[in-house]
Amino acid sequence: MCHSIGVRITVAAYAAFVGAGVLTAPPATAGPTVCDYPSCTPGIAPGVVLGAPCDNTTYYVFGVTDWGRLVFCGSPRRYQPRWFRSPPMAGIKEENADCTQYQNYVAQAPDGLFLVCIAQDGRTFWTRGDT
């Protein structure tokens, strides 16, 4: 009788130990996360109306219409900012990084800054899109 109680306690302790290992969070992965599409870009405003006024042309400028059109908040020629159809978007990119494969695309920096890929002075790079 004593032996079976000891076995039960050992089995229960082992099950608790294994169960705790299963329930713990996996270790965090190191390194940056790649995001090359609008679908993985944070801060895109839903329910935007194309042509309607908007208020931020510098950070988190992207939105999507009810029918799924990607738009951005821009202010051409210093007029009141409005929602415009977006050029192709390359997700999240770093300011001043090479963007040869994304020429004439737009993107968002990790901090939300609006970026555009341009070719200038013999190189192609991400630069601020609000200037």
End-to-end CA distance of the chain: give it in Å, rounded.
Answer: 82
Burial group, residue 130, by CB count within 10 angstroms (0-12, 13-18, 19+): middle
Domain span at 120: 38-128
Determine, yes or no, domain membership for 24.
Answer: no
pLDDT exceeds cutoff 60 at 105: yes
Domain annotation covers residue 97: yes
| Percent of residues, the chain, with pLDDT higher than 70 | 75
**75 falls within a domain:** yes
In a domain, 19, yes or no: no
> Regarding predicted confidence, which is higher, 74 or 21?
74
Q: How many domains does the chain have?
A: 1
Within a domain: residue 12? no
In a domain, 81, yes or no: yes
Instruction: Specify if 115 maps to a domain.
Output: yes
Place of tokens 């990084």: 97
Classified as helix, coil or strand, 86 is: coil
